[in-house]
Amino acid sequence: MLPVRLRERALDDLDAAAAYYDEHAAHMTPPFIDAFLTAKTHIAHHPRTGSNQSADIPQHLQH
């Protein structure tokens, strides 16, 4: 399993989303955090998930 490193912008986005849920739908904060942790674990086990390297995208269209 590879470590998942989040950029500062991603951490800021997560903080903002969690704060939004806390303010507007507090009952959704725990499921949001659980979903994030599940996705993070999945990416750690399968790091090519969602990457252009594993997609069937022509090279000239990849960013």
For residue 43, being part of any structural domain is answered with no
- Quick one: angle between helices 8-24 and 29-45, nearest 10? 150
Residue 58 lies in a domain: no
Using one digit for the tens of pLDDT, what is the confidence trace for 39-51?
Answer: 999 989 988 776 6
Task: Judge contact between 18 and 3, C-beta under 8 A.
Answer: no
In a domain, 52, yes or no: no
Query: At a CB cut-off of 8 Å and minimum separation 6, what does 21 contact?
Result: 28, 29, 32
pLDDT in tens, 11-57: 999 999 999 999 999 999 999 999 999 999 998 998 877 666 555 66
pLDDT of residue 26: 95
What pLDDT, on a 0 to 100 scale, did the predictor assign at position 1? 80
Does residue 33 sit within a domain?
yes
Q: Is residue 49 part of a domain?
A: no
Q: Number of folded domains in the chain?
A: 1
Would 19 be classed as within a structural domain? yes
Per the domain annotation, does 30 fall within a domain? yes
**Domain span at 26:** 1-38
